[in-house]
Structure 1
Amino acid sequence: MALGLIVKSGRVLTAKLLMGQAVEGITHCAIGDGDETFTEPQNPPAPDIEQTALKNERARKRFYKRTFLKEDAEGALVVNGVRYLETGEETNTIGIFFRFDEAEANGITIREYGFFGGDVEYVASASGDLAMGGVFHQDTNPVGEVLRPGYLYEVKNIPDFNKISDTRVELVGIIKI
């Protein structure tokens, strides 16, 4: 399965960070159920480098941990077949950890996810790290809780799985500089 795609807006976010502009790095993960191009559950469409949002965002959550990582054959964290250990030393590999607990995303057929950074903001009524319902729009999505989505950094379409019972979804973004 293909790795995620760093899209153009992700490259802009990286450039802003390198220029020292006052934006946050990757802060949020969004999950969604894709769009009409996702017709074969085990054969996801390729993401588009021009994407600035998920096709159909359903939930978004702020990271619970960011840490430096180093590759280690004994590491407990395995991402894309590579084992990592958390470390206090500065390395060129960063792990950003996201957890959708228990009932936070039940009933969603998760087919896409993306990592966002920059100026992410929820509507005033959303409290805590979780936002449901996608990006707010007064006419087309008045129940969305994400007011400002920020910069989409990386997006990935995945073979779908229907999260119908109380299970936890954990996603880890690995950034190697």
Structure 2
Amino acid sequence: MPLGVITRSGRILTAKLLRGEPVEGITHCAIGDGNATFSDPLHPPAPSVEQTGLIHECARKRFYKRSFLEEHQDGALLVNGTRYIETPTETRTIGVFFRFEEAEANGITIKEYGFFGGDVAYVADNQTDFAVDGRYHEITNPTGQVLQWGYLYEVKNIPDFNKTNDTRVEFVGVFRY
């Protein structure tokens, strides 16, 4: 199974950051169920570099922590087979941490996730860092709480991850520069 794909909009976000434009880097993680497009639960379709959003976003959350990371054999953080520790020293590796609490991700068969940055915005009446039902549209999706998707930086499709118990889900985006 391939690792996540850096999208074209992710490359645009990187270019804007390098130019010093006033946009924020990776700020949000979205999770989705892929709708009926994921017909084989153990072999999801490959994500596309052309994607600007998830196929079917169900929930989105702002990061709760960003920190520099350093590879370390005794590190408590394990991502893709590599162990890391957090460090106050500037490194070329950054961890962006997201936590979906028990009630926030329950009932979702997570098949896709993505990291967003830039101009992400929620609808005006959303008072938390959590949003449900994807992108708002007054006719096609009036329950959506995401007003602007922002730039989809990285997207990954995964085999079904069925949440059957009340447990929180944590994602850590590790980015090397």
In structure 1, how many angstroms separate the alpha carbons of the residues matched to 2:95 and 2:65?
8
Whether 1:15 aligns to 2:5 is no
Amino acid at match of 2:24: E
For residue 33 of structure 2, what is the aligned residue in structure 1?
33
Amino acid at match of 1:158: I
For residue 93 of structure 1, what is the aligned residue in structure 2?
93
Give the secondary-structure state (helix, strand or coil) at the position aligned to 2:14: helix
- Structure 1 length normalisation: TM-score? 0.98
In structure 2, how many angstroms separate the alpha carbons of the residues matched to 1:127 and 1:105?
18
For residue 144 of structure 1, what is the aligned residue in structure 2?
144
**Displacement, 1:105?**
1.2
For residue 76 of structure 1, what is the aligned residue in structure 2?
76
Within-5 A mapping of 1:52-63: 52-63=52-63
**Displacement, 1:18?**
0.2
Once the two structures are aligned, what percentage of the paired residues are identical? 68
- CA RMSD across the alignment: 0.7
Give the secondary-structure state (helix, strand or coil) at the position aligned to 2:40: coil
1:55-112 deviations in Å (ceiling 9; x for gaps): 0000000000000001111111000000001000000000000000111111011000
For residue 65 of structure 1, what is the aligned residue in structure 2?
65
For residue 169 of structure 2, what is the aligned residue in structure 1?
169
Is contact 1:108-1:164 (8 Å) kept? no
**Displacement, 1:164?**
3.5
Structure 2: segments with no counterpart, 5+ residues: none
For residue 156 of structure 1, what is the aligned residue in structure 2?
156
1:94-140 deviations in Å (ceiling 9; x for gaps): 00000001111110110000000001100011111100111001111
Give the secondary-structure state (helix, strand or coil) at the position aligned to 1:36: helix
Aligned residues: 177
- Structure 2 length normalisation: TM-score? 0.98
Structure 1: segments with no counterpart, 5+ residues: none
- Extract structure 1 runs of 4+ deviating beyond 3 A: none
